[in-house]
Amino acid sequence: MGLVINNHMHMNNEVPGKKYFPWQQTWLVCMRWAYEETPTKGIPSPSGFERDPHALYPRQGLRFADPEGTHTIEAMDEGGIDMSVILPIDYDFSWGSQSDISIEEKHEHQAQMVAKYPGRFISFGGPDPRRAGSKEIFKRAITEHGAKGLKIIPKNGYYPWQEECYELYDVCMEYGVPMSSCTEPNTGGYNRGRFADPLHLLDVVGDYPDMPLTLLHAGNPLYDYFEKSLFVASGNHNTSIELNYWLKPGAGVAEASTAPVFGMPMGKNVLNEETGVMMLARARDILGAHKISWGIDIHFGPKMKNSGWKLAEWLRGLEKTAAKYGQKFTQEEIDLILGENVARTLGIKEYPEWDRPAKYGYTRRVPRPRYH
């Protein structure tokens, strides 16, 4: 078995009195905790809306804070995870207020974790493109804090083809690092899901065909966004998808959905085992196993342990599970999905067979229209 690399996680360096997110984001989580329905039962949680959101607010962020990285490393060791890619979160523009911890402080903290735990973490930069000086902030994330890529979150309220974003992609090309874009629409709070439509990335792929691009979430929780993600990734050598927690049958709820194999909404209607297998097989058949990675998209902390690794466990057993539904996955394909693809993209391991164009003097496989 090759390297096992989680391609999507976060690390919250919140400490008492200094919150990682804008206050509105923390308050939204508290309100959901107090008043939203329990997904598995469809009833208010708890009975009669008896929870007080104010009681959770002071400690909400601390439940998954891990400023020293100890909870995350413990969870990775328990789950058999070799490495994780840390993606920062910049929600300030979405809520119109500043976090107590700046995006540059988040970049610095991630760099500290990379240094503290050699060979376990890879850090990305991720300033909101609309932030003043975002291009220079991202450059410093690379040159001063060792960032190995860029993360953007279009659902915060911008399109990935806007000029502010292109300035960041120019930095990616200058330093030879990849980009990951969130394609998860969600609802409520800061989410502006129409901006997350994967089709908006077609312009980016067309203008930057040599920039490795990963479509995080592959469109969860909308099935048509999943299909669009496959469409976008199918047209370019350097474009791939990341599948995360939603793919694991039964993840996060007591019972898996009995939804049909295709045509269903995802999200709270968690996939049953057959659906999970068939969706992964469809992605493999359209893109190839060499263009699929996985991730967990959670923070670890005192109240957030290793539940995210259930997807890695499921992928390890995919060969036998898929056979029950008439699908075949080889161990080589499983190894690619579990980590070898990310290792290749981030240069963790050398794969000479992927560098053949350079052998003949070509630095680009396809010319970029913007730079004629």
- Asked whether residue 261 carries a pLDDT value surpassing 50, the answer given is no
Closest-CA residue to 138 (of 104, 183, 96):
104
- Asked whether residue 251 carries a pLDDT value surpassing 50, the answer given is no
pLDDT for res 262: 40
- Using CA atoms, how far apart are residues 352 and 367, in angstroms rounded to an integer? 22
pLDDT for res 293: 97
Taking residues 102-113, report their average pLDDT.
97
pTM exceeding the 0.75 threshold for the entire prediction: yes
Closest-CA residue to 85 (of 356, 266, 342):
342
Going along the chain from its start, the domains and CATH numbers come out as: 5-365 (3.20.20.140)
pLDDT band at 324 (very low <50, low <70, confident <90, very high): very high
DSSP labels, 99-112: -SS-HHHHHHHHHH
- Asked whether residue 81 carries a pLDDT value surpassing 50, the answer given is yes
Strand partners, 294: 243
Hey, is 6 helix, strand or coil?
strand
Hey, is 252 helix, strand or coil?
coil
Residue 281 contacts residue 326 (beta carbons within 8 Å): no
Which region holds residue 33: left if phi is over 0, alpha if psi is between -120 and 50, else beta? alpha
Q: Does 189 or 65 have the greater pLDDT score?
A: 65
Q: Which range among 81-85, 169-173, 257-261, 307-311 shows the weakest confidence by mean pLDDT?
A: 257-261
Taking residues 6-28, report their average pLDDT.
91
| 221 preceded by a cis bond (ω within 30 of 0) | yes
Taking residues 42-46, report their average pLDDT.
50
Closest-CA residue to 259 (of 303, 286, 221):
221
pLDDT for res 230: 96
pLDDT band at 143 (very low <50, low <70, confident <90, very high): very high
Taking residues 118-126, report their average pLDDT.
97
- Residue 312, classified by CB atoms within 10 Å of its CB into exposed (0-12), middle (13-18) or buried (19+), is buried
The b-or-e profile of 289-305 (16+ CB within 10 A means b, else e) is: bbbbbbbbbbbbbeebb
pLDDT band at 200 (very low <50, low <70, confident <90, very high): very high
Largest CA distance in the chain: 70
